[in-house]
Structure 1
Amino acid sequence: MTTTQLPHPTERRVRVWFGEHVIADHISDPASAADYESAMRRRFVSLRVTNDPVAQPAADS
């Protein structure tokens, strides 16, 4: 049996992009996500780094 953990509504997703390709993907609480984003911006100066809310799955009707 497989269980899937749904993301918490306040979690953030930080991604590092190389063109249209994601080369790093990190999901955590807002404070940790901000720290991770800051570290990735220092490490990958010329790449795009995004910090977005985690999309919630649609509720079944």
Structure 2
Amino acid sequence: MTATPLPRPTDRRVRVWFGEHVIAEYTAEPAKAIRYQAAMTRRFYSLRVTIEPAIPAVNQDAADS
């Protein structure tokens, strides 16, 4: 079994959605993530494709609760 590297703060997560279900997910540096998003948008033109930070920003006050 190999360990999956943790995403870096600059990485982006791309997801392809079929309704409320994620059918594909990819995490990479911003340039590669943008290329993947463009390719998935062309391939699955009727599905929603999102891109967001791989590590969500957490409000320090909320993290302390």
Aligned CA distance change for structure 1 residues 45 and 9 (closer, same or farther; 3 Å): same
Match of 2:33 in 1: 33
Match of 1:48 in 2: 48
CA distance in 1 between counterparts of 2:24 and 2:14 reads 8
C-alpha RMSD over aligned residues: 2.7
Task: State the number of aligned residues.
Answer: 60
| Amino-acid identity (%) | 60
In the superposition, the TM-score normalised over structure 2's length comes to: 0.77
- Gaps (5+ residues) in structure 2? 59-63
Q: Which has the higher helix share?
A: 2
- Gaps (5+ residues) in structure 1? none
Aligned CA distance change for structure 1 residues 6 and 40 (closer, same or farther; 3 Å): same
